[in-house]
Structure 1
Amino acid sequence: MSQLAAARYGKDNIRLYKVHRNQDGMQSVVEMTVCILLEGDIETSYTKADNSVVVATDTQKQTTYILAKQNPVTPPELFAAILGDHFIKTYPHIHAANVSIIQKRWTRMTVDGKPHPHSFYRDSEETRDVSCRAVEGKGLSIHSGINNLLVLKSTGSAFYGFHRDEYTQLPETQDRILSTAVKSGWLWDTFPTLEDVKRQKGKFDEAWEQVRTITMGTFARDSSASVQNTMYKMCDQILAAVPGVQAVDYSLPNKHYFEIDLSWHKGLKNTGKDAEVYAPQSDPNGLIECTVTRKGGKAKL
């Protein structure tokens, strides 16, 4: 015999765009992709073909659009909390709602030296990622993040003193190119209610700015002995700068740029201190991850 051990379902890839029109003619825009997954007393839809417990995924999509019209969608942490809270309060048999939001970048154009009131451009593929888990009677757990922030520095990174054995071929280096696509996240202390999220909504944008500033500043200034050590310094500074965050995580792929030996061509020097031309590599690549909590705290990657 079998039993249903866990189940959740919902609507993924809900594309949402909202424009804010101010009376002075200045407009702002937000574009995001939303995913909703619901949990609760839904097992009979799986085991007995009983669809009476199913809140249709199209209903979830339409709910997203209606709530976006009736509420602010920024910061995304707030909108995710509004959605999650709605589902666990509207449907008695739904006990948990998981909402994920990926917010894309639209940056205001500067035209003739002035911010243009209604024109924007995509300046990178970086996204602002948010997930919220709303659980009946237990509050809202919110995880904020940055993804695909591509950074590179042409010097100031080393990698040496690592373990060597019969399988090791990599040479040590005191100077190398360091590049990565930053994926970082920070877990907030649990919010007891939606009203608590609303009261503290201002800190979400502030934290996002602080994390980006710390990430890029540390990346640029640190004389990096390893990606591991540099990312730990980032986490440590974020925890010191952002009260209310209990854990910070990073996932950094090491995007390699290899020297090209051109000595075969008339003794042309292009390695070591003479290296100027490199071959960017796609894969394989190193991948380094960590989670750093406040002392005594626990969190999973």
Structure 2
Amino acid sequence: MPQLSYAKYGKDNVRLYKVDKNEKTGVHTVIEQTVCTLLEGDIETSYTKADNGPVVATDTQKQTIYILAKQNPIDPPERFAAILGDHFVKKYPHIHAAHVKIIQHRWTRMTIDGKPHPHSFYRDGEEIRVIESVTRENKGVEIRSKIEKLLVLKSTGSAFYGFHRDEFTRLPETWDRILSTEVEAGWKWKTFNNLDELAAVDFNGAYEKARAITMKTFAEDDSASVQATMYKMCELILAAVPLVEEVDYALPNKHYFEIDLSWYKGLKNTGKDATVFAPQSDPNGLIFCTVSRNPKAKL
């Protein structure tokens, strides 16, 4: 006899834009997000008995996002995600958990004639800020913050040698190579019991610290491997943000291969003479790690 093992449902790809207008200075601040809400609870009969009674319609969820965005700040996105989750769990007795994902898109204020423009912005890259939260009835809210699609490259300062070799190995060792990756970095916060606890947390400051640490470590580390560099990033973020319990990275290699041009009049373009490269789309290396606080260190 079949049974429903797990279910959740909601509204995805809710586009949200909010402008805060400072009437005294005329300066506007804009935020654009894409929001997803998914609800869990006593909703089995909507699947098994064709009973829509327990269904909080996905359109209702969309309208709720807009209304709560009007009534509350949506920056930092971590706090807005928690506000949404708290609303759904408290508003509907049969809903016991709310999953919220927020993608915050990047708008940067224009500088015109050396001065920040009060109401003009530009998209300075595909990087996004991502928030994933789960609010559970009487269990608080879990939040994970992320940086995604941050494309970085350095033209030297990276090596890869001393790796395991066997009869299947063809890759040569290198002591100097181009290193490029599209950063996906995440950090999991301690569980918050209520919205009041979130109010005191500097989520934007933590995001800026994590981003700055990622870029500074990438640029300055004399990298023995992607693995070694990403571990240093994790350590530094844990040290900088005490309320973060673990940090994770996913770093795909963006390869740039030397081109042997010696066939043309002995033209040198390999090793230390390499200046022209061929960017590669795939296949590529993909490296993950998660670094957590050592619980024994608290004893």
Paired position in structure 1 for 2:76: 75
The residue type equivalent to 2:235 in the other structure is D
Aligned to 1:275: 274
| Amino acid corresponding to residue 93 of structure 2 in structure 1 | P
Matched, 1:107 2:99: no
Please state whether the residue corresponding to 2:2 is helix, strand or coil. coil
1:216-245 per-position Cα deviation (integer Å, ceiling 9, x unaligned) = 110011000000000000000110111100
Give the CA deviation at 1:296: 2.7
Report the CA distance between 1:167 and its aligned residue: 1.0
Residues of 1 paired with 2:283 and 2:90: CA distance? Answer: 47
Cross-structure match for 2:200: 199
Residue 127 of structure 1 and its aligned partner are, at CA, apart by 0.5
Task: Tell me the equivalent position of 2:11.
Answer: 11
Structure 1 gap ranges (5+): none
CA distance in 2, matches of 1:197, 1:95: 20
Where in structure 2 are the equivalents of 1:215-226 lying within 5 Å? Answer: 215-226=214-225
SS of 1:116's partner is strand
Report the secondary structure of 1:55's partner residue.
Answer: coil
- In structure 2, distance between residues paired with 1:267 and 1:58: 67
In the aligned structure 2, how far is the partner of 1:199 from the partner of 1:237? 22
Whole-Å separation in 2 of the counterparts to 1:281 and 1:199:
45
Residue by residue over 1:1-51, the C-alpha shift from the partner in whole angstroms, topping out at 9 and shown as x without a partner, is 100110000000000000010011000100000011100000110000010
CA distance in 2, matches of 1:51, 1:153: 55
Tell me, what secondary structure is at the counterpart of 2:158?
strand
2:121 — aligned with what? 120
Deviation at 1:56, TM superposition (A): 0.3
State how 1:142-291 maps to structure 2 within 5 Å. Answer: 142-200=143-201, 203-291=202-290
CA shift digits 1:142-191 (9 cap, x unpaired): 10110011100000000011111111111110000000010000000000
In structure 2, how many angstroms separate the alpha carbons of the residues matched to 1:51 and 1:192?
A: 32
Inter-partner Cα distance in structure 2 for 1:85 and 1:194: 8
Task: Give the count of matched residue pairs.
Answer: 295
Give the drift of 1:112: 1.2
Instruction: Give runs of aligned pairs for residues 61-100 of structure 1, distance below 5 A.
Output: 61-100=62-101
Separation of aligned partners in 2, 1:296 and 1:251: 24
Q: Distance in 2 between matches of 1:10 and 1:172?
A: 50
Matches within 5 A, 1:19-30: 19-23=19-23, 24-30=25-31
In 2, the alpha carbon distance for the partners of 1:82 and 1:22 equals: 24
1:158 match: secondary structure = coil
Q: Shift of residue 199 of structure 1?
A: 2.9
Q: 2:136 matched to which residue of 1?
A: 135
Note the alpha carbon deviations across 1:76-119, whole angstroms, 9 max, x for none.
00100000000000000000000000000000000111100000
Q: TM-score, normalised by structure 2?
A: 0.98
Q: The residue matched to 2:177 in structure 1 has which SS?
A: strand
**What amino acid is aligned across from residue 286 of structure 1 in structure 2?**
G
Cα shift readout 1:43-81 (whole Å, capped 9, x = no counterpart): 110000010000000000000000000000000001000
Give the Cα–Cα distance (whole angstroms) in 2 for the partners of residues 29 and 238 of structure 1.
28
Measured in 2, the distance between the counterparts of 1:198 and 1:11 equals 26
Aligned AA for 2:2?
S
Q: Provide the TM-score with structure 1 as the length reference.
A: 0.97
Using the alignment, how far apart are the partners of 1:35 and 1:178 within structure 2? 34
CA distance in 2, matches of 1:219, 1:157: 10
Equivalent-residue separation in structure 2 for 1:165 and 1:194 (angstroms): 55
1:194 positional shift: 1.3
> What is the DSSP-based 3-state SS (H/G/I as helix, E as strand, rest coil) of the residue aligned with 1:100?
strand
Inter-partner Cα distance in structure 1 for 2:206 and 2:58: 32
Residue equivalent to 2:49: 48
Query: Which amino acid counterpart does residue 59 of structure 2 have in structure 1?
Result: D
After the TM superposition, list the runs of 4 or more consecutive aligned residues in structure 1 that deviate by more than 4 angstroms: none
Give the deviation of 1:282 after TM superposition.
0.5
Alignment match, 2:294: 295
Q: Which residue of 2 aligns with 1:37?
A: 38
Q: Which amino acid aligns with 1:204?
A: F
